Amino acid sequence: MYWGIKLNRLIVLFSAFLFLTSGSGIGAAADVYVNSTDSIQTAVNNATSGDIIILKPGTYTENIEINKDNLIISSESGNPDDTIITAKNSRNHVITLQANNVKISGLGVTGTKESYTGIYLSGCNNCIIENSKIQNNGHGIYLLRSKGNTLSNNKVTNNGDYGILFSTATDNILSGNTASDNRGRGIHIGTSNGNTLSGNTISSNGVYGLFVCPKSNNNLVYNNYFNNTVNAEIRNGIGNAYHTAKTEGINIIGGPYLGGNFWAEPDGTGFSETAIDADGDGIAESSYRLSNSIYSDELPLVLASKPQQPVLPVANFKMDDKSGPAPYSVQFIDLSENAVSWSWDFESDGNIDSTDKNPVHTYTIPGKYTAKLTVSNENGTASKTLEVIVLEAQKEEKVYPVADFSISVTSGYAPLSVQFTDLSKNTTSRNWDFGDGATSTDQNPVYIYSTAGTYTVSLAATNENGTASKAATVTVMESSSSGGNNDESSGGSSGGKSHRSGGGGSPEPARNVQVKELSQTFITAGREVKFDLRNNATCVVYVTFDAKKSVGKTTTIVEVLKAKSSHVSKPLSDEIYKYFNLWVGNAGFATSKNIENPVICFKVEKDWIEDNDINKTSIALNRYNSGKWEQLPVNLSEEDDRFLYFTGQTPEFSFFAITGKTESKEAPVTDLELDSEPESQSESKVTKVTNLNGKNAGAINSSSVKYALERKTSERSPGFETIYGIISLISLFLYKKVKPRN
């Protein structure tokens, strides 16, 4: 019975305990985690006193109302840049707080310019807003009828009329906040008492940094940094103070004392920026009168001047290497600071071996040495030592060259451009033999093979101890497009097949090429391109045109021929100065589609003109195209002691000839009177006449003969018809006999 009574009592007591604890909330506090896909408002609604609502990183789009006491709402990371609450309804506050003992920490609160307030505290007591970023709202933080709240280390920026607004707010503390770049006022204290502002930065606000209305009393403002066009608008009030007692402690600008505030202005002319601090304590010697106010900052802060400490030298140096065989030369490199003189002891004997800043010393005897540098300035000296190890001298071994190279391509169709890259070692000079008689001393030459064949390329690498060589083979094949009608042009779109391969070059057999010159340059669309033939090996001086297309680095080839091109079937009847071929880039490039205004500048020797009795006005540039020669317009551009220089326009590039006509000469005519000039020189024909012994008997202009004969006929001289017939037959016979054959 006794134990039954005891058991019943225990059951009753346990039931009462469960009832009381469930009603009082004891043991109910919890950590509540919220993801950015969830609702903070739902977590607040379901929270109980003492709960900690932890927000995962992300952006939450909602307006939140908090009306439960004793809650903590914070970001998990503590970083307001990765946990952001933005207003869903831009006409409401982002966060409305109507409770006590609530803490908000580490949040980014972003509205729009139309949003009323970022964080709105209405009738709140003992709440904490910390480490948060409130921006882009109508107001940043608004305290209405709230008491004993603490705002610390928040950034309130880029808001509308107010950064932080007090209205009938009492005994609140603002510490370590930044109120900047707000359109209106940084901090506004309206009809509010007993608030303390310290350690805040209030800068770059549109209207005022700080505003205090006349019904605000007993507020304390000290140790703040102001930098606004208008720092403060103070409408008096009762018992307000804008400094505290001078107290040791690091102030907001790093000075040694707390006192008033630092008053700067954007143009650098603020009171604290220009005030005198005679004793170097970081407090101005005069007070700062607040405009339109009965108040002054009696202890305005200034930048404290620190006593100048003596600058001592710091010795330091390095060596290019710390050991080597004798004789061993060491480069010492000074790395000292604040030094004005240097003293070096290289061999540990106490003697000063050099006073140069970066000396070189040669050790001739093997051993270990301590190199010491001593530096000095007007305030003192310093030194540093490093060990140098000099080894036994080594016998010098000859280093022989090693020849090696790589080839960009070992086979292809003519013309084949090959990049040779030197990979030799221990080499001071190089000599390339490309296998066709051409050589080069460039390190990495590019060579163009224009004729099919198999070529053995060799590189001779040389240094002072000898020469080494290496060889390789390059196979050049006939272009697949090299066949076809020889009468077709190969300069571009001439209506026939091109004789040129896809890599650029010339189809002319090497046996007919007297001399060849190449020129390379870059072709860029919209620019004039000029290929200079700088070696003066040919009759072509330069080639120019305007590029319509960018193709990069391009080669132009000029070939002066021994006779007319093997791809030309018809010779020219005029005196020939030079036959030459001219190719620009790949086949099909140099057309009106890709270039315009092509010009060739060529030169003609004055000796040739004089020796051949050439009329210089008859000099012509001829281009072979579609089975016939066409004469191109040319202009005499300049001359020097040796040459006449001409420029000629050409539609495309292919086979060319430079020609001239001989001056017209009247040969002596027996028993004929030439009373008048013959026909024009271009229409006249000169027949060489030989006497019976086969010697040259002069030249008879056929037109002159005809003219003279006709005149004699018109005079009706007796027997003239007979003479006319005989002479005509003789002239015809001689003309046919001496006429040159093609």
Beta carbons within 10 angstroms of residue 56's beta carbon: 16
pLDDT, position 511: 87
Strands 429-433, 453-463: pairing kind: antiparallel
Per DSSP, 511 falls in state G
Confidence band, pLDDT 50/70/90 cuts, at residue 308: low
Give percent of the chain with pLDDT exceeding 90: 63
Query: Which is higher by pLDDT, 627 or 421?
Result: 421
φ/ψ (deg, to 5) at 529: -110, 135
Strand partners, 121: 97, 143
Residue 21 has pLDDT above 90, yes or no: no
Strand ranges across the sheet with 196-198: 31-34, 52-55, 72-75, 103-105, 128-130, 150-152, 173-175, 196-198, 220-222
Q: Which helix (H) or strand (E) holds 39?
A: none
Residues in the chain: 742
Terminal-to-terminal C-alpha distance of the chain: 153
The mean pLDDT value of the chain amounts to 83
Query: Which is higher by pLDDT, 498 or 72?
Result: 72
Distances (CA, A) of 373 to 272, 353, 362, 512, 553: 47, 10, 16, 75, 56
pLDDT, position 537: 85
Confidence band, pLDDT 50/70/90 cuts, at residue 506: low
The alpha-helical segments, DSSP class H, found in 270-341 are 271-274
Residue range 61-78: mean pLDDT, rounded: 95
State pLDDT tens for residues 591-643.
888 999 999 999 999 999 999 999 989 999 999 988 889 999 999 999 999 99
pLDDT, position 131: 97
Q: Is 2 helix (H, G, I), strand (E, B) or coil?
A: helix
Confidence band, pLDDT 50/70/90 cuts, at residue 664: low
Strands 225-227, 103-105: pairing kind: unpaired
Cα 122 from Cα 142, distance rounded (Å): 8
For the four alpha carbons of 437, 440, 444 and 450, in that order, the dihedral sign comes to negative
Strands 528-532, 686-690: pairing kind: unpaired
Confidence band, pLDDT 50/70/90 cuts, at residue 725: low
Residue 678 has pLDDT above 80, yes or no: no
pLDDT, position 348: 83
Confidence band, pLDDT 50/70/90 cuts, at residue 585: confident
Residue range 426-440: mean pLDDT, rounded: 93
Contact 291, 283 (CB under 8 A): no
Residue 538 has pLDDT above 90, yes or no: yes
Confidence band, pLDDT 50/70/90 cuts, at residue 84: very high
Cα 156 from Cα 286, distance rounded (Å): 32
Strand partners, 729: none
Query: Which is higher by pLDDT, 109 or 699?
Result: 109
Residue 280 has pLDDT above 80, yes or no: yes
Give percent of the chain with pLDDT exceeding 70: 80
Residue 674 has pLDDT above 70, yes or no: no
Surface-to-core class of residue 423, CB atoms within 10 Å of its CB (0-12 exposed, 13-18 middle, 19+ buried): middle
Instruction: Please state at what angle helix 702-714 crosses helix 720-738, rounded to 10 degrees.
Output: 170
> Is the peptide bond between 327 and the residue preceding it cis, with omega within 30 degrees of 0?
yes
Distances (CA, A) of 441 to 406, 460, 475: 16, 10, 22
Residue 396 has pLDDT above 90, yes or no: no
Residue range 469-480: mean pLDDT, rounded: 85
Strand partners, 152: 130, 175
Q: Is 723 helix (H, G, I), strand (E, B) or coil?
A: helix
Residues sharing a CB contact under 8 Å with residue 114, sequence separation 6 or more, in sequence order: 90, 91, 138
Range scoring the smallest mean pLDDT among 386-400, 593-607, 713-727: 713-727
Residue 89 has pLDDT above 70, yes or no: yes
pLDDT, position 121: 96
For the entire predicted model, the pTM comes to 0.44
Confidence band, pLDDT 50/70/90 cuts, at residue 479: low
Strand partners, 459: 432, 470
| Token pair in block for residue 608 | 């040739």
Residue 508 has pLDDT above 90, yes or no: no
Strand partners, 105: 74, 130
State pLDDT tens for residues 241-279.
999 999 999 999 999 999 999 999 999 999 999 999 988
φ/ψ (deg, to 5) at 480: -65, -15
